[in-house]
Amino acid sequence: MTERNNWEQSVEKTIKRFPERKETFTTSSNIKVDKLYANENTDKYEEKLGYPGSYPYTRGIQPTMYRSRFWTMRQYAGFGSALETNKRFRYLLEQGQTGLSVAFDLPTQIGYDSDDAMAEGEVGKVGVAIDTLHDMEQLLDQIPLDKVSTSMTINAPASVLLCMYIAVGEKQGVSLDKLTGTIQNDILKEYIARGTYIFPPKPSMRLITNIFEFCQLHVPKFNTISISGYHIREAGSTAVQEVAFTIANGMAYVDAALKAGLDIDAFAPRLAFFFNAHNHFFEEVAKFRAARRIWAKIMKEHYKAKDAKSWKMRFHTQTGGSTLTAQQPDNNIVRVTLQALAAVMGGTQSLHTNSRDEALSLPTEDSARIALRTQQIIAHESGVADTIDPFAGSFYVEELTDKIEDEVYKYIDRVNELGGAVKAIEEGFMQREIQHNAYETQKRIEKEDEIIVGLNKFKLDEEVNPDLLKVDEALEQAQKKSVKMTRENRNQEKVNMALINLKKQAKKEDVNLIPYILDAVKQYATIGEICNVLRDEFGEFTGI
Amino acid sequence: MGKIRVLIAKPGLDGHDRGALVIAQALRDHGMEVIYTGLRQSPIQIAQAAIQEDVDVIGLSSLSGAHRTLFPKVIEALQERNAGDIPVVAGGVIPSEDIPYLIEKGINKIFTSGSSTEALANYIKQLINPEHSKLEQPNKIAHIGIAVHSIDQAISFYTDTLGLELEGVEAVKSEGVKVAFLKIGESRFELLEPLDDTSTIQKFLDKKGEGIHHIALEVDNVEERLQKYKQAGIKLINEEAKSGAHNSQIAFIHPKAANGVLLELCQHTEGSDL
């Protein structure tokens, strides 16, 4: 029973830092709820399940899980101007949200200024428009960056936005080692599923490893990547494909960083993951548990990482946008509740719950509040967070966990046979697999082999049109003016110098570009100017 | 006529192409030739591709909210190139309040989230090749159904005043009605009296009082017609035909599809005398 003793010791240590939420946990009938229920006599208990906070982490990555602290409730938000989004952020923080998550508009995500011809019609639509440091200053106004952690959904130009964040931190007087947050920075899934790529794979992988290295030295608490299965699932994959392709991509990042000469235990602890939660409740719970176990094994046995922190898969979860229906949108609240519950039962570190109206537009403030309340009800009222990994030992869930693990390894083997994730993506392998499943799903729904309540069964004659959030059409013009003003008011000579310098350094493959991007950002160079320099040097990815 | 050629295009910067890809695949399975542009196409690029590829129809997809700006620009770009006759359909995350604006700007039809690929494919077939998928027109008005509280009380107006011939009275238990048939030319009046409180005729009488309840159209192949209507997204009360009076096969079309009139399709099978 030494493993159990180890766990008990680590619980004691953890509780000193993060005391449990209550002195005792009980049910309504005054039955005491223990931290952990385990039957160590079951076959291969320690090999397959182990203890929370210890290898292979099937039961969670922290010794006390939600007994000490709930997951971070992190709602993804952003629309229109930086000013408007700043208001929504401060509202969400007042409402008890514990972390920020920034949605950027598509021109920002693809490295175009708001007044670029390519940006037409897209400015401020799916997120906030950020052209220069000036916008970032407005976005984060009065938000203390040493206290609030910020997740940024930004990939191809992740380095630029990270540098803007660092620059705002410096202006607030927050030292770099105090900044916490995450950049998505996962380009491979952009090629597979999400589409906001700029450069070809090779220079993109260079920028990513540059970020790993820079952050390890200067911004050690920042998660340098969020390896995302979310969008793979949204594009139509199965749960198994979601985990398999995400882990295959994760291995490609690890390989690239090792090749660049980084030490595995120096960067691996800062790798984070991002998964989806769909409606098949038990499969989703099993999926999260299997994913943790697989990653731990790969990091320990394949990559020989020594630091236990390198073995732990920390992940964010978002409920499944593609499962929501435009019909009878209030039904989506129920779907989100089920999915959020699965994420919590799967041991997520943070969670975004979708709003009921997301199949129709960006969420209104009312809808966003209900989505946050859904998490708060699960946390505070349901009692599901009072014991760790409550589905462990269920014959069904354990069997599903094992099966998902087996199927994931089969896919990873196929990807490896093709020469790894980058090659598999270039050959369109993952895209085809996902596309096939997306089409089969659509056919099942049209044949009513798969029932979607309100869509192909239990329909209403008359759909009620809910109030939707409108992004003001005048915003695009205002943002265009604003970026023009910033360009006029900066020291153009310094901007030119910074950009020329960046161009020079980009030619040299072994130079870390982050300090040069940071320099350009601080001179109020625009995201488009910086990305255009890199486009000239790196070329553009034009699809497969 | 060769295969229908379709251009599926993603205007703007939106990278969500699950819908576009699923639709491309579905239209191919419907025997169409589909060209997919890939992501990030400007309206001008889309118009040029449509002309170069000589397509019969363009399908646009956007989920990023840029549809109000970009969809009309595609129409403009087509018109500038004398290709304004290429029909354009569109889909994605489009709030219903934006649909009239887009139709006014020249989009033929918007298929919103949850639409079936079947409906889209049939719409395109109909649009490109209207003769091909056209159904024969209904043969005649088979009868006009009139809801009455009591056949006994109502009948004398029709037989004595109008002088119509009463062909018979019959109870149709499955529908909860008693029916009287009165011949007029090649058609009939059908007086409908509820047999009990749960009858739809009773509900009609409670809501609206006596009056015209439905118009029945005589057709040749009711099943095929229902299938086509269903595919075209016509709202039906009965998606499959059921047995009506006198050995007939009947189905009702929803009043919403016919300007507030309840239409019945009826097919008289062999051996039916009416």
Q: What is the DSSP string of B176-241?
A: TEEEEEEEETTEEEEEEEESSTTSHHHHHHHHH-SEEEEEEEE-S-HHHHHHHHHHTT--BS-SS-
- Strand pairing category for B140-147 and B211-218: antiparallel
SS3 at position A504: helix
| B274 located within any domain | no
What was the pLDDT predicted at B112?
87
Task: Please give the Cα distance from A76 to A24 (Å, whole number).
Answer: 34
Average pLDDT in the B154-179 region?
89
Using an 8 Å Cβ cutoff, are B26 and B120 in contact?
Answer: yes
Query: For chains A and B, what is the number of CB pairs under 8 angstroms?
Result: 98
Are B96 and B180 in the same domain?
no
- What is the percent of chain B with per-residue pLDDT over 70, rounded to a whole number? 96
Other beta carbons less than 10 A from residue A333's beta carbon = 18
What was the pLDDT predicted at B198?
85
What was the pLDDT predicted at A434?
97
Are B18 and B88 in the same domain?
yes
Are B144 and B263 in the same domain?
yes
Average pLDDT in the A397-419 region?
98
Interface check A464 vs B, CB under 8 A:
no
Task: Please give the Cα distance from A323 to A314 (Å, whole number).
Answer: 24
Interface check A468 vs B, CB under 8 A:
yes
Residue B256: its chain A contacts at CB < 8 A? Answer: 461
Are B118 and B205 in the same domain?
no
Using an 8 Å Cβ cutoff, are A496 and A141 in contact?
Answer: no
Assess whether pLDDT exceeds 80 at residue A198.
yes
Q: Per the structure block, which two tokens stand in for B79? A: 């018109």
What was the pLDDT predicted at A540?
95
| B135 located within any domain | no
Task: Please give the Cα distance from A396 to A419 (Å, whole number).
Answer: 35
Give the position of tokens 């309504």. Answer: A28
The 8-class DSSP code of residue B138 comes to P
Minimal CA–CA distance to A181: which of A79, A262, A82, A101?
A101
Q: What is the pLDDT of residues A426-444, one digit of tens each?
A: 999 999 999 999 999 999 9
Contact between chains at B113 and A325 (C-beta distance less than 8 A): yes
Are B167 and B118 in the same domain?
no
Closest CA of chain A from B93, distance in Å:
6
Are B187 and B216 in the same domain?
yes
Q: What is the pLDDT of residues A516-536, one digit of tens each?
A: 999 999 999 999 999 999 999
Assess whether pLDDT exceeds 80 at residue B232.
no
Average pLDDT in the B226-241 region?
83
* Predicted ipTM of the assembly: 0.88
The 8-class DSSP code of residue B57 comes to E
Are B152 and B210 in the same domain?
yes
What band does B133 get if pLDDT is binned at 50, 70 and 90? low
Look at A544 and A328; give whichever has higher pLDDT: A328
Angle at B181 between CA B179 and CA B185, to 5 degrees: 155
Contact between chains at B13 and A118 (C-beta distance less than 8 A): yes
Task: Please give the Cα distance from A419 to A237 (Å, whole number).
Answer: 21
What band does B271 get if pLDDT is binned at 50, 70 and 90? very low
Which segments of B81-195 are extended strands (E)? 88-92, 109-112, 140-147, 165-172, 177-184, 187-194
Q: What is the pLDDT of residues B69-117, one digit of tens each?
A: 999 999 999 999 999 999 999 999 898 889 999 999 999 999 988 889 9
| Average of per-residue pLDDT values in chain B | 90
What was the pLDDT predicted at B272?
44
| Average of per-residue pLDDT values in chain A | 95
Residues sharing a CB contact under 8 Å with residue B41, sequence separation 6 or more, in sequence order: B9, B10, B11, B12, B49
What was the pLDDT predicted at A521?
98
Closest CA of chain A from B25, distance in Å:
7
What was the pLDDT predicted at A191?
96
DSSP string, A211-246: HHHHHHHH-TTEE-EEEE-HHHHHTT--HHHHHHHH
Closest CA of chain A from B222, distance in Å:
21
Question: Which residue of A114, A442, A544 to mutate against B (max B Cβ within 10 Å)?
Answer: A442
Are B147 and B203 in the same domain?
yes
Residue B255: its chain A contacts at CB < 8 A? Answer: none
Going from the C-alpha of B97 to that of each of A72, B12, B112, the distances in angstroms are 36, 21, 12
Are B121 and B35 in the same domain?
yes
Interface check A518 vs B, CB under 8 A:
no
The CATH code of the domain that includes B151 is: 3.10.180.10
Residues 295-334 of A with CB under 8 A from B: 322, 325-327
Assess whether pLDDT exceeds 80 at residue B231.
no
The predicted model scores a pTM of 0.84
Interface check A121 vs B, CB under 8 A:
yes
Contact between chains at A446 and B25 (C-beta distance less than 8 A): no
* Residue A283 main-chain phi, psi, to 5 deg: -65, -40
Using an 8 Å Cβ cutoff, are A539 and A200 in contact?
Answer: yes
Q: Per the structure block, which two tokens stand in for A517? A: 């991007």
Are B20 and B124 in the same domain?
yes
| B190 located within any domain | yes
Closest CA of chain A from B143, distance in Å:
27
How many domains, chain B?
A: 2
Q: Per the structure block, which two tokens stand in for B92? A: 């994605």
Assess whether pLDDT exceeds 60 at residue A24.
yes
Look at A470 and A244; give whichever has higher pLDDT: A244
Lowest-confidence region among A120-134, A174-188, B124-138: B124-138
| B26 located within any domain | yes
| B13 located within any domain | yes
Sign of CA dihedral A415, A420, A425, A426: negative
Contact between chains at A361 and B26 (C-beta distance less than 8 A): no
| Nearest residue of chain A to residue B254 (CA atoms) | A461
Cα B10 from chain centroid?
28
Contact between chains at B93 and A359 (C-beta distance less than 8 A): yes
What was the pLDDT predicted at A43?
87
Contact between chains at B95 and A119 (C-beta distance less than 8 A): no
Q: What is the pLDDT of residues A320-350, one digit of tens each?
A: 999 999 999 999 999 999 999 999 999 999 9
To 10 degrees, what angle do helices A429-446 and B117-128 make?
90
| B134 located within any domain | no
Task: Please give the Cα distance from B101 to A215 (Å, whole number).
Answer: 49
Assess whether pLDDT exceeds 50 at residue A123.
yes
One-letter amino acid at A51 equals Y
**Nearest-by-Cβ selection for A126 from B21, B40, B65:** B65
The CATH code of the domain that includes B84 is: 3.40.50.280
Contact between chains at B18 and A438 (C-beta distance less than 8 A): yes
Residue B40: its chain A contacts at CB < 8 A? Answer: 110, 118, 195
What was the pLDDT predicted at B129?
80
Last residue of a domain, one of B128, B156, B182: B128
Contact between chains at B70 and A121 (C-beta distance less than 8 A): yes
| B152 located within any domain | yes
Closest CA of chain A from B274, distance in Å:
34
Residue B95: its chain A contacts at CB < 8 A? Answer: 360-361, 468
Last residue of a domain, one of B101, B128, B155: B128
| B208 located within any domain | yes
Give the position of tokens 């401020």. Answer: A124
B258 lies in which domain range? 140-267
Are B26 and B102 in the same domain?
yes
Closest CA of chain B from A301, distance in Å:
36
Last residue of a domain, one of B106, B128, B150: B128
Residue A360: its chain B contacts at CB < 8 A? Answer: 93, 95, 113
One-letter amino acid at A272 equals A
What domains appear along chain A, each with residue ranges and CATH number? Answer: 68-446 (3.20.20.240)
How far apart, in Å, do the first and last CA atoms of chain B sit?
41
Cα A308 from chain centroid?
22
For chain B, the residues whose C-beta falls within 8 A of a C-beta of chain A are 12-18, 21-22, 25-26, 38-40, 42, 64-66, 68-70, 73, 93, 95-97, 112-114, 116-118, 256
Using an 8 Å Cβ cutoff, are A512 and A210 in contact?
Answer: yes
- What is the percent of chain A with per-residue pLDDT over 70, rounded to a whole number? 99
Q: Per the structure block, which two tokens stand in for A182? A: 């995450």
What band does B273 get if pLDDT is binned at 50, 70 and 90? very low
Are B65 and B144 in the same domain?
no
Question: Which residue of B8, B14, B17, B18 to mutate against A (max A Cβ within 10 Å)?
Answer: B18
